[in-house]
Amino acid sequence: MIFDIDDFKKLNDTYGHEGGDLSLKVLSRLILKRIRSVDLAARWGGDEIILGLVGANASDAFKIANDIREKTAKLKIKYLNKILSFTVSGGVADSHRAKSFNDLFRLVDKALYKAKKQGKNKIVGLSVGA
Protein backbone atom coordinates (compact mmCIF):
# COMPACT_ATOMS: atom_id res chain seq x y z
CA MET A 1 0.00 0.00 0.00
CA ILE A 2 0.97 3.60 -0.37
CA PHE A 3 -0.15 6.68 1.53
CA ASP A 4 0.13 10.30 0.49
CA ILE A 5 -0.67 13.29 2.71
CA ASP A 6 -3.47 15.25 1.06
CA ASP A 7 -2.56 18.81 0.08
CA PHE A 8 0.93 18.48 1.57
CA LYS A 9 2.16 21.61 -0.23
CA LYS A 10 -0.65 23.64 1.36
CA LEU A 11 0.30 22.17 4.76
CA ASN A 12 3.91 23.28 4.21
CA ASP A 13 2.80 26.71 2.99
CA THR A 14 0.56 27.18 6.04
CA TYR A 15 2.79 25.75 8.79
CA GLY A 16 6.25 25.85 7.21
CA HIS A 17 8.46 22.88 6.50
CA GLU A 18 8.71 22.15 10.22
CA GLY A 19 4.93 21.67 10.29
CA GLY A 20 5.14 19.39 7.26
CA ASP A 21 7.94 17.40 8.89
CA LEU A 22 5.89 17.09 12.09
CA SER A 23 2.96 15.76 10.04
CA LEU A 24 5.18 13.10 8.49
CA LYS A 25 6.55 12.09 11.89
CA VAL A 26 3.09 11.84 13.46
CA LEU A 27 1.77 9.84 10.49
CA SER A 28 4.80 7.54 10.62
CA ARG A 29 4.32 6.86 14.34
CA LEU A 30 0.62 6.15 13.78
CA ILE A 31 1.45 3.70 10.97
CA LEU A 32 4.17 1.95 12.98
CA LYS A 33 1.74 1.45 15.89
CA ARG A 34 -0.80 -0.09 13.52
CA ILE A 35 1.40 -2.57 11.64
CA ARG A 36 3.25 -5.65 12.88
CA SER A 37 7.00 -5.89 13.43
CA VAL A 38 7.34 -8.16 10.37
CA ASP A 39 5.74 -5.56 8.08
CA LEU A 40 7.73 -2.99 6.17
CA ALA A 41 7.24 0.79 6.11
CA ALA A 42 9.35 3.38 4.31
CA ARG A 43 9.16 6.97 3.18
CA TRP A 44 8.95 7.07 -0.59
CA GLY A 45 9.60 10.55 -1.88
CA GLY A 46 8.32 13.74 -0.34
CA ASP A 47 5.15 12.82 1.52
CA GLU A 48 4.51 9.28 0.38
CA ILE A 49 4.87 6.27 2.66
CA ILE A 50 4.85 2.74 1.29
CA LEU A 51 3.96 -0.35 3.28
CA GLY A 52 4.43 -4.05 2.71
CA LEU A 53 2.21 -6.22 4.88
CA VAL A 54 3.80 -9.66 4.99
CA GLY A 55 1.24 -12.40 4.35
CA ALA A 56 -1.78 -10.07 4.47
CA ASN A 57 -4.52 -10.54 1.91
CA ALA A 58 -6.05 -7.63 -0.02
CA SER A 59 -9.08 -7.41 2.27
CA ASP A 60 -6.96 -7.23 5.43
CA ALA A 61 -4.64 -4.67 3.84
CA PHE A 62 -7.59 -2.50 2.82
CA LYS A 63 -9.01 -2.62 6.37
CA ILE A 64 -5.63 -1.64 7.85
CA ALA A 65 -5.19 1.18 5.32
CA ASN A 66 -8.67 2.50 6.01
CA ASP A 67 -8.08 2.33 9.77
CA ILE A 68 -4.90 4.39 9.34
CA ARG A 69 -6.81 6.87 7.15
CA GLU A 70 -9.60 7.24 9.73
CA LYS A 71 -7.19 7.69 12.64
CA THR A 72 -5.19 10.26 10.69
CA ALA A 73 -8.32 12.30 9.92
CA LYS A 74 -9.08 12.49 13.66
CA LEU A 75 -5.64 13.80 14.64
CA LYS A 76 -5.43 17.25 16.18
CA ILE A 77 -1.80 18.27 16.64
CA LYS A 78 -0.94 21.37 18.64
CA TYR A 79 1.73 23.28 16.73
CA LEU A 80 2.76 26.93 17.14
CA ASN A 81 -0.38 27.67 19.16
CA LYS A 82 -2.52 26.36 16.31
CA ILE A 83 -4.19 23.06 15.62
CA LEU A 84 -2.63 21.20 12.72
CA SER A 85 -4.68 18.48 11.06
CA PHE A 86 -4.48 16.63 7.78
CA THR A 87 -5.85 13.68 5.87
CA VAL A 88 -4.27 10.95 3.76
CA SER A 89 -5.24 9.07 0.66
CA GLY A 90 -4.02 5.61 -0.12
CA GLY A 91 -3.74 2.88 -2.68
CA VAL A 92 -3.82 -0.83 -1.87
CA ALA A 93 -3.03 -3.85 -4.03
CA ASP A 94 -2.45 -7.55 -3.50
CA SER A 95 1.02 -8.78 -4.48
CA HIS A 96 -0.18 -12.35 -4.92
CA ARG A 97 -0.19 -12.22 -8.73
CA ALA A 98 2.16 -9.28 -9.35
CA LYS A 99 5.19 -10.32 -11.40
CA SER A 100 7.57 -7.76 -9.88
CA PHE A 101 7.85 -4.94 -7.36
CA ASN A 102 7.51 -2.46 -10.24
CA ASP A 103 4.21 -4.05 -11.35
CA LEU A 104 2.91 -3.92 -7.79
CA PHE A 105 4.09 -0.36 -7.27
CA ARG A 106 2.41 0.79 -10.51
CA LEU A 107 -0.82 -0.76 -9.26
CA VAL A 108 -0.77 0.88 -5.81
CA ASP A 109 0.23 4.18 -7.43
CA LYS A 110 -2.72 3.90 -9.83
CA ALA A 111 -5.02 3.19 -6.86
CA LEU A 112 -3.61 6.23 -5.02
CA TYR A 113 -4.24 8.40 -8.08
CA LYS A 114 -7.86 7.21 -8.16
CA ALA A 115 -8.26 8.01 -4.45
CA LYS A 116 -6.96 11.55 -5.03
CA LYS A 117 -9.21 11.98 -8.08
CA GLN A 118 -12.25 10.83 -6.07
CA GLY A 119 -11.82 13.68 -3.61
CA LYS A 120 -8.97 12.65 -1.28
CA ASN A 121 -9.19 11.20 2.24
CA LYS A 122 -9.95 7.85 0.61
CA ILE A 123 -8.43 4.40 0.17
CA VAL A 124 -8.76 2.65 -3.18
CA GLY A 125 -7.89 -0.98 -3.74
CA LEU A 126 -6.99 -2.53 -7.09
CA SER A 127 -6.10 -6.04 -8.14
CA VAL A 128 -3.68 -7.27 -10.77
CA GLY A 129 -5.32 -6.81 -14.16
CA ALA A 130 -7.22 -3.67 -13.08
Give the gyration radius of the chain's Cα atoms.
Answer: 14
Range of the domain at 20: 2-126
pLDDT, tens only, 10-68:
999 999 999 999 999 999 999 999 999 999 999 998 899 999 999 888 889 999 999 99
* pLDDT at residue number 128: 57
Q: pLDDT tens across 94-118, in order?
A: 877 678 889 889 999 999 999 999 9
Non-local CB neighbours of 48 within 8 Å, separated by 6+ positions: 2, 3, 4
Any idea what the CATH number is for the domain that residue 105 is in?
3.30.70.270
**Total of domains in the chain:** 1
**Burial track 59-71 (b if 16+ CB lie within 10 A, e otherwise):** eebbebbeebbee
Q: In this model, does residue 129 exceed pLDDT 70? A: no
pLDDT at 49 (0 to 100): 97
Give the pTM: 0.92
Is 67 considered catalytic here?
Answer: no
Q: Name the active-site residue from 4, 6, 7, 47.
A: 47
Alpha-carbon gap, residue 3 to 69, rounded angstroms:
9
